[in-house]
Amino acid sequence: MRRCVSNHTLWLVAEGEARAADRAHVLACASCSARYRQLERDLRVLCLTLSGPPPAQRTWNPVPPVRRRWMAAAVVAAALTVVVWSSGWLLRPMPPSSLSIGERAAVWSFLEEVSLALFATADAEALGEVTEPGLEPEVGAPYAGFLDTWPCDDGTWWLNIKCETQPFLLAEGR
């Protein structure tokens, strides 16, 4: 006896697309005939169900659409809340930290060094080390530019090599 046909072939028989041999087998074989009748019944049930109204009570719908929309909105709101809160937390004023005695001494020595470096020019001026009154060496050259006394502005700047190499010293008259 010929082997029973596959589900696909059985379906082709139902569609009238199967080969004659397959159709003959389905007619002759009790098992395949039963499967064929079951297929017809199932198709009838499927058509009948799908051509009618869908069930009104959607017990099989795990997440209804309205709830899904609210869930999406809730997720967005939660994400925004987290972003706002975390940015506020990061930007909050830092409280003074409690330092140990050794750390405090290191901080003070660092601050003293900074202070010395910042006020060195003022000290130098107080000691009369600045050559031009009112113009400190470091800032004299830029001011010279503002006061139109920049020595490299005339048309012969290219004759003076210092305009290329040491313009600030030139402006200070060195």
The letter for the amino acid at 129 is E
56 binds other proteins per the rule CB under 8 A: yes
Q: Select from 4, 27, 42, 169 the one that contacts other proteins (CB under 8 A).
A: 42
Backbone φ/ψ region at 141: left (φ over 0), alpha (ψ -120 to 50), beta:
alpha
Rounded to the nearest 5°, which phi and psi values hold at 135?
-120, 110
3 binds other proteins per the rule CB under 8 A: no
CB of 32 to other proteins, least distance (A): 14
Q: Given the complex with other proteins, which of 9 and 141 has the nearer CB atom?
A: 9
Give the integer Cα–Cα distance in Å for 6 and 39.
12
49 binds other proteins per the rule CB under 8 A: yes
Measuring CA to CA, how many Å separate 7 from each of 23, 44, 53, 147? 13, 17, 29, 100
Q: Select from 31, 33, 61, 81 the one that contacts other proteins (CB under 8 A).
A: 61
Give the integer Cα–Cα distance in Å for 14 and 67.
43
Site stretch for other proteins (CB under 8 A), options 34-42, 80-88, 92-100, 101-109: 34-42
Residues found near other proteins in the complex (CB under 8 A): 7-8, 11-12, 15, 17, 38-39, 41-56, 58-61, 63-65, 68-69
